[in-house]
Amino acid sequence: MSHQFYSIECIIPPHIQNNIAEKGTPEQRKKVMGSISQSAAIRAQRVLLTETKALVEPVTVGGKQRNIFNLNFGSNLPGILARSEGAPPTGDPAVDEAYEGAGATYDLYQQEYQRESIDGKGMRLDSTVHYMKGYDNAFWNGRQMVYGDGDEDLPEPQRIFNRFTIALDIIGHELTHGVTQFEAGLVYRDQSGALNESFSDVFGSLVKQRQRNQTAAEADWIIGEGLLSPNINGIGIRSMKAPGTAYNDPLLGKDPQPAHMSDYKTIDYDNGGVHINSGIPNHAFYATAMEMGGYAWQKAGQIWYVTLRDRLTSTSVFADAAQQTYLVAGNLFGGGSLEQQAVRAGWQAVGIQIDAGDSGGNGGGTGGDTGSGGGTTSPGCSTALVQLLDNVKALIENRSR
């Protein structure tokens, strides 16, 4: 299994940054461009560290071990240790939210799926907060979590984002990029990339639902609730229940996510729409969980987790995920079980038909693996951001002419 250690997966996708860069105030535009170029610098640093092997070996400790570092607006990771496992709250919301969020994510994986941390071997959970001044993003860098403070440095009427630790599902989302990196290794482009994004949304949402003790019907299924400031017309950055409806705002534009294959977007930017077409598998999970009823992390979550761990490969596409979740449901709950039928109905709701011929549950093949994983690296969000930065610069040059 090849792992993509080069990718950094940011929570704020290029289409949102693009809109801010085009329509924002001078301060907002300056900030978004700063975030974009910083992300490019992070990637360059990662390539260097990875090549010298400084970054690739996770610290394995066993049990729940969280370290939260404070960078005090610097950029030299990881920063000064602010809270370690078992220490009391610090009173700094970013430190304490990062600590609690990493713990809730660890607990979901450990208590529900018997997984020991991100790598399955007890990797220490490191997070850094107060990354740079007013950094508008959060990311998993292949080794640890990093959170910006959002627009706390701007005057209130100009703020778009709150601090990035504020939404528990964002923490679960980013840490799940780590799980995917160590398991299916889904390449961060096109459908495999949209599946990578979707698994992060699924488990990010499940971390939140479990912490709130909500059934599928009670949950909001919003990703990034609380992240957008009151200046923005939106409830979060994505909706799994109703993809395409999370926000509609003069500054951010309208949520572009499709909820059905008939609206699948074939595009170049955003690594082929990884944050856009993920609406389709997201909604399939939602529909499956609603069909099953009860707590979504129990049966539906178990099926999705086993599929991510054992059945998908780096090049799997939506149809593979559909077929394999169906087969896993058959394995876990029986061929023709209500659970298996729910999985089928869930994918049907987004326009993906499952070949029901084999409901047995011993289908090993995932198809689509070209075996080319070896030397390829996932470009992650930063490559798209560099392209975006170039586009924005061109735009500004054109305007000033």
Size of the site for Zn ion (CB under 5 A): 2
Residue closer to Zn ion, measured from CB, 321 or 349 = 321
Assess 70 for contact with Zn ion (CB under 5 A): no
Catalytic annotation present for 275:
yes
Shortest Å distance, C-beta 205 to Zn ion: 13
Residue closest to 21 by CA, chosen among 275, 383, 393: 393
d(CA 188, CA 274): 7
**Residue of 3, 130, 177, 275 marked catalytic:** 275
Catalytic annotation present for 174:
yes
d(CA 189, CA 267): 11
Q: Which DSSP state fits 381?
A: H
Assess 169 for contact with Zn ion (CB under 5 A): no
Shortest Å distance, C-beta 174 to Zn ion: 7
Shortest Å distance, C-beta 11 to Zn ion: 6
Shortest Å distance, C-beta 304 to Zn ion: 16
Residue closer to Zn ion, measured from CB, 4 or 70 = 4
Q: How far is CA 28 from the centre of its chain?
A: 24
Residue closer to Zn ion, measured from CB, 194 or 290 = 194
Map 206-275 to HEC letters: HHHHHHHCCCCCCCCCEECCCCECCCCCECCCEECCCCCCCEEECCCEECCCCCCHHHCCCCCHHHHHCC
Using the contact rule CB under 5 A, the part of the chain among 7-15, 57-65, 94-102, 114-122 near Zn ion is 7-15
Strand partners, 147: 138
Residue closer to Zn ion, measured from CB, 200 or 325 = 200
> How, if at all, do strands 66-70 and 80-84 pair?
antiparallel
Residue closer to Zn ion, measured from CB, 85 or 190 = 190
Using the contact rule CB under 5 A, the part of the chain among 3-11, 321-329, 339-347, 372-380 near Zn ion is 3-11
Strand partners, 190: none
Residue listed under structure tokens 């490019």: 40
Shortest Å distance, C-beta 188 to Zn ion: 9
Residue closest to 143 by CA, chosen among 64, 60, 263: 60
Residues numbered 172 to 231 that lie near Zn ion (CB under 5 A) are 200
Strand partners, 83: 68
Shortest Å distance, C-beta 251 to Zn ion: 22
Shortest Å distance, C-beta 75 to Zn ion: 21
Nearest residue (beta carbon) to Zn ion:
9
Assess 9 for contact with Zn ion (CB under 5 A): yes
Q: Which helix (H) or strand (E) holds 129?
A: strand 125-129
Contact indicator for 317, 192 with CB cutoff of 8 Å? yes
The encoded tokens of residue 276 equal: 């856009």
Using the contact rule CB under 5 A, the part of the chain among 6-14, 21-29, 88-96, 152-160 near Zn ion is 6-14
Residue closer to Zn ion, measured from CB, 66 or 173 = 173
Residue closer to Zn ion, measured from CB, 9 or 320 = 9
Q: What string of DSSP letters covers 69-111?
A: EE-TT--SSS-EEEEETTPPP-S-HHHHHHHHHHHHHHHIIII
d(CA 180, CA 194): 12
Residue closer to Zn ion, measured from CB, 169 or 291 = 169
How many angstroms separate the Cα of 261 from the Cα of each of 220, 257, 318?
A: 23, 11, 10
Shortest Å distance, C-beta 315 to Zn ion: 19
**Residue of 15, 97, 130, 174 marked catalytic:** 174
Burial of 150 (0-12, 13-18, 19+ CB in 10 A): buried
Catalytic residues: 174, 275
What is the binding site for Zn ion (CB under 5 A)?
9, 200
